[in-house]
Structure 1
Amino acid sequence: MRIPFCSLFVDDQEKALKFYTEKVGFVEKVNVPAGGARWITVVSAEDPEGTQLVLEPNQHPAAATYQKALVADGIPATALMSSDIQKDYERMSALGVVFRVKPIQMGPVMGAIFEDTCGNLIMLNQV
C-alpha cells in the first residue's frame, strides 16, 4: 500500500497552481476539468512519480471553516520536506513568500512555516 495523493484545500486553484509551481518549485502533473472545478495536482521536481499534492477547492463551507480555523490558530495544513531548509527559505523569501516562522531548530527537526497565499500555513521541515 502507498499514498499516491495528499489533498490541500485552497481558496483559488489557479493562484495555488501558480504559487506551488513558481514559488515552491513543484511541477504541474494533472490539470483537467472536474465538475465546476479542476483536478489539479503538483509533484516534486525531484520525484515526479512521487506523491501528488491535490489542490482541492475549498468550496464546501466546512472546508473553508477548517482552513480558516487552522490559520487562526497558527497550525500548518501540511508539511513539506527540504534537503536544505536555509537555501529554500532564502530562495522562496527572495520570491516574496512570507514566512511566519524562519528556520529554527525544533527538537530533532529544523522547521519553518510559510503562507501559501491560498489560505494555508505550510510547515517546511529538514531532518
Structure 2
Amino acid sequence: MTRSEFDDIRAHIAAEEGDCDDLLQIARTLLDDLEQARLREATLRARYMGLLTAARATMASDAVGDIDPLTFLRHELGKRGQLPTGDEEVTRILSDARTAETLLAHLEEKPQSRPRAGARMRRCAGAARRLPR
C-alpha cells in the first residue's frame, strides 16, 4: 500500500465515526500496525540491499586482486555496529553461521511425501471432533 492509500483509509474511517466507535478504533489500530509493518519491511529491505551490495563488491574486489577486498563489507557492518570485537564473539558468530547453514540446508531439502488421500489417518485433535455422549 502506498502512503496515499493509508491516508485515504484513515479519511474514510474518520468520516464513519458514530455508532461503531469501538470497531473504528480497532480499524485505526490495525491500520497503524499495518503501516508500521510496512515501514519495518522497507527498512529491512534497504539494509539487506546494502549488505548484498557490499558482499558483491567485496567478491568483485577480491576477483580483481585488490589489496583489501573486505573494505566494502567492513564498512557496511561497521555502520550497524556488527563487526566482531573479541575472540569469544568471533567463535559465537562462526558457530551461529554453521547452525544457520545447517538449518537452511534442511529447509531446502525435498519435503517428505504426504500419505495419499485414500489412506486416511486418524486424528486426535481438531475443532470438528466431538466427545462421545
* TM-score of the superposed pair, with normalisation by structure 2: 0.23
Structure with larger RCO (C-alpha < 8 A, sep 6+):
1
Larger strand share, 1 or 2: 1
